[in-house]
Structure 1
Amino acid sequence: MSIPSQTETKASLVRWDPRKITEWLMKAGRGITSADQLTAELGRLLVEAGAPVYRIRIGLRTIHPLVVGSAYTWWRDKVDVEAYNPPHGIMESADYIDSPIECVHQTGQPFRRYLEDASADELHSTLATLKASGATDYLAIPLKFVFDDLPTPLIFVTDRLGGFSPQDIESFNQIALFLAPVLEVHSQHMTSHALLETYLGPRTGQKVLSGQIKRGDAELIEAAIWYSDMRDSTAITEVLSHDQLLKLLNRYFEVITKAVTNHGGEVLRFIGDAMLVVFPTDKQRNLIQARKAALAAAKDAHIEIQRINPLLEKEGLPSIRYGLGLDVGEVVYGNVGAPDRLDFTVLGSAVNRAARIENLTKEAGCSLLVSEQFASQLGDTFTWLGDYKVAGVEVPLSVYCAYCDSP
């Protein structure tokens, strides 16, 4: 039988009660909506209870096009919780391979590692860095969620001599049982929010998430409307491979979406290679400001497309050329469709006019055309091209050009 060291004996004599924390998780803790705030409060309560915690890390997986989840790290001697969103591909990196987190993911079992007497050469880089900061013991507890096959590690680190005692580990396991269902709610909410924002946009996604989901749920808003369409797409589809076509379209969509988002617009729909975008008014932005935002986004996109076209040609891809129509007015913003299959979009004459104006860009020889309503009160930025009769609109449209060097 081995005799515990003096430091281990001291550690085992330090007892603390986790019941206040588990009670908090069942009551006030489960009502906290921010994962970083939840992590911070957990750390504070553990210290208050006398737990030997130096660092806590909580990880949440999600479904998102850019990241695999979010991790929240609390340090006893730091004010703010550190938030990190690991990108796709992290599981092929040196930071993950052979790490404690990979071990928990693969085995579904707790991972414990004394650091006090360990050599840095025998430790994974994560553990070596912690040891260098003064950590003496590391514990990762797998949290198992109902709708996730991969366990989520809950990590506790101490800098106390002797590391964690058996009583510490027992108390951490009790806390983990109560924390798991709370974190699963956060994980599911994060995933729902990410999916809605990815496929519907931030403004529209939030409306759906808040319960605006019935057919006919809609509101009248004033907005600048953007309708753009990629040119020569039929011919391009015939000559490019599927991979090349997707690469070209994604570059085009990426440029437009970034420009639009940077100026407060929201992409409502990708329609083949066309895009419907809205710049709504709100308490911070009136209709003139919405028009200016749409125009600024259009100019940013135009400049960026001109910059990347030579790069695309070097990759054996055709240059991106597109037409853009801008209009402004009152539109219906909400749910339309069948009772059980809906689309959240905008409807109204401004949407129809923007699409018709975009269709005139080829005939007019101008890549960006705007309506008279859009051009008014914006100064002499535009050149009047004339009145055009278009399908579906009784009165000829008075059309203005912003620039005529069509991309």
Structure 2
Amino acid sequence: MLPGFGGENGHSRFPVPCGGSKINDHIQWLIEQGLTSEHIGDLVAGLCDRLIADGIPIWRASITMPSLHPMYRGVSANFVRGGATVLENAAHGSVEERNFEKTPIFYLLNRGERTGRWILARGEGLDYPQLAEFALAGGTDHLVSLCEFPKEVALRGLGFSLTSDAPGGFSDDQLAIVKALVPALGLAAYRVAASKTATDILAVYTGARTSARILAGETQRGTGGSINAAILIADLRNFTALTEVYQPSEIVGFLNEHFELIDRHVEENSGEILKFMGDSVLAIFPTDAEDPQKACMAALASTKNLLKANEALNRERTKNGGPDIGVDVVLHLGEVFYGNVGARGRLDFTVIGRAVNEASRLEKLCGTLEQHLLMSESFAATCAVACEYLGSFELRGVSKRADVFKLADAVS
């Protein structure tokens, strides 16, 4: 939400603040919170409560920061005196993002300034929709302070906004106190945001379960262990042929649509996608040693839901002349190694092993058998749902022939 910061000085000039010991107390509190807080809402709410207790007439406040999350352009924590502090995300393409140019923060960024003040009681800033709304509700004074972060990261900085509803607004001494606190606030917010960004982005790229293990310290090549899991491999049928007909941007759009619905139904049943491989998806549902059937039923529920959702997606797309893209799914149950695999400087936290290889080979039979869902013998025997035997087949690179099943017609 804050694309960048420029300029060395804001257009406001504040006097040297009074009450240095109080300021030092607030700075110490901000540093401590920066080390322990989990989100910026703690910072804005706690600091405002402390400043209000010191007599600074804060009615509303917010911290606004950019975000590296693929779904959100920015995040803000909004404080209201006597109310709850609310965290809000501005999605890419949202009204909030489109209206960013109509905000005081954008005004300061565009002018290369760090601070700005609009005395609402005098009618200043009413061309900004938010400030007009504040003025109408009794706001008298609005202050914005910007803090710049290192340019090497996309978290460029923060905007700290304070609004007063007191008749005289903020005094010069109070403005100076706020100015003295902004660097410590920025440092604390940067630590909180950097930590959350690392957690969120790692989860986006590796999955929530896997990212938790990585952040817990499982980063050495070869670390991991054997687990039993239901394995789901989903592949878009005849997708390669579409690359001869459609532009790359269209192909990416189709992939994203299908991957989105696969992820949604895998995640809602406690599974996790580990890898996107071209037009295929590898997901696992770790089993409980005492109840492996639970993981199999979760994987089966995910599959049935995603196949149904894929049919709906194709119906909608073909109405507009787009392609009908089928999804083939294989379900298998077996032991896998779950951990770090790769080169010293480039690792993949994934699953490997005979069961993964067998599932991949089974997927090739979907087209041959004209089935969108196939199950291995181990999966069919464990899932406790009526299945139909389709035959025994040789799998490339697998010594033992594989017995293959589908759902019985009565439960398809």
- With structure 2 as the length reference, what TM-score do the two structures score? 0.88
Aligned residue runs from structure 1 range 18-167, under 5 A: 18-78=23-83, 80-89=84-93, 95-106=99-110, 107-118=112-123, 122-147=126-151, 150-167=156-173
The alignment status of 1:292 with 2:304, answered yes or no, reads: no
Q: Distance in 1 between matches of 2:34 and 2:238?
A: 56
Cα distance per residue 1:282-334 (max 9 Å; x no partner): 69x94222111111111111111111212222333211112111111221111
Q: CA deviation at 1:34?
A: 2.8
261-270 or 16-25: bigger deviation: 16-25
Distance 2:324 2:308 in 1: 13
Q: CA deviation at 1:219?
A: 2.4
Classify 1:312/1:154 alpha carbon distance in 2 versus 1 (closer, same or farther; 3 Å): same
2: CA distance, partners of 1:297 / 1:108: 52
Amino acid at match of 1:331: V
Give the AA of the match of 2:145. Answer: I
- The 3-state SS of whatever aligns with 2:251 is helix
- Distance across 2 between alignment mates of 1:321 and 1:177: 55
Q: Alpha-carbon deviations, 1:150-201, whole Å to 9, x = none?
A: 4421111111111011111100011112111111112222322232122212
- CA shift in 2, pair 1:94/1:233, >3 Å: closer
Say which of 308, 316, 339 aligns to 2:313: 308
Q: CA deviation at 1:91?
A: 8.4
Partner of 2:324: 319
Select between 189-198 and 158-167 the one with higher mean Cα deviation.
Answer: 189-198
* Correspondences of 1:368-407 after superposition (within 5 Å): 368-402=373-407
Name the TM-score, length of structure 1 as normaliser: 0.89
The amino acid of 2:353's aligned partner reads: G
Aligned to 2:180: 174
Number of equivalences: 390
Q: Counterparts of 1:240 and 1:335 in 2: how far apart (Å)?
A: 36
CA distance in 2, matches of 1:248, 1:233: 10
- The aligned runs of 1:254-273 (5 Å cut-off) are 254-273=260-279
Deviates more, 1:83-92 or 1:309-318: 83-92
1:372-398 superposed Cα distances (whole Å, 9 cap, x missing partner): 211224334322212222122222212
Whole-Å separation in 2 of the counterparts to 1:75 and 1:161: 18
Report the Cα distance in structure 2 between the residues aligned to 1:281 and 1:60, rounded to whole angstroms: 40
Per the alignment, residue 253 of structure 1 pairs with 259
Residue type matched to 1:277 in 2?
A
Structure 1 residue 210 displacement after superposition: 3.0
The separation in 2 between residues aligned to 1:324 and 1:403, in whole angstroms, is 16
One-letter code of the match for 1:320?
I
> Which stretches in structure 2 are left out of the alignment for 5+ residues?
1-17
1:183 paired with 2:183, answer: no
In structure 1, list runs of 5 or more residues that go unmatched. 1-13
- Report SS of the residue matched to 1:108: coil
Alignment partner of 2:168: what SS? Answer: coil
Please list the CA deviations of residues 79-138 of structure 1 after superposition, one character each: whole Å capped at 9, or x if unmatched: x31010111235885632231121133223212111123289x43110011122222111
When structure 1 is superposed on structure 2, of 365-374 and 204-213 the one drifting more is 204-213
Aligned to 1:9: none
Change (3 A) 1:321 1:32: same
Cα pair 1:91 1:97 within 8 Å, conserved: no
Aligned residues of 1:58 and 1:154 also touching (Cα < 8 A): yes
* Distance in 2 between residues matched to 1:117 and 1:137, nearest whole Å: 9
For the residue of structure 1 that corresponds to 2:30, the secondary structure is helix
1: distance between equivalents of 2:96 and 2:38?
A: 32
CA contact (8 A) 1:95 1:126 kept: no
- Residue number in structure 1 paired with 2:8: none
Q: Residues 19 and 52 of structure 1: is their aligned pair in 2 closer, same or farther, counting only changes over 3 Å? A: farther
For the 8 Å contact 1:203–1:266, the answer to whether it is kept is yes
Q: Percent identity, aligned pairs only?
A: 31
Q: Distance in 2 between matches of 1:214 and 1:94?
A: 43
CA contact 1:95–1:125 (8 Å) conserved in 2: no
Match of 1:223 in 2: 229
Output the CA distance in 2 between the equivalents of 1:198 and 1:81. Answer: 26
Cα root mean square deviation, aligned:
2.5
The answer as to whether partners of 1:105 and 1:151 remain within 8 angstroms in 2 is no
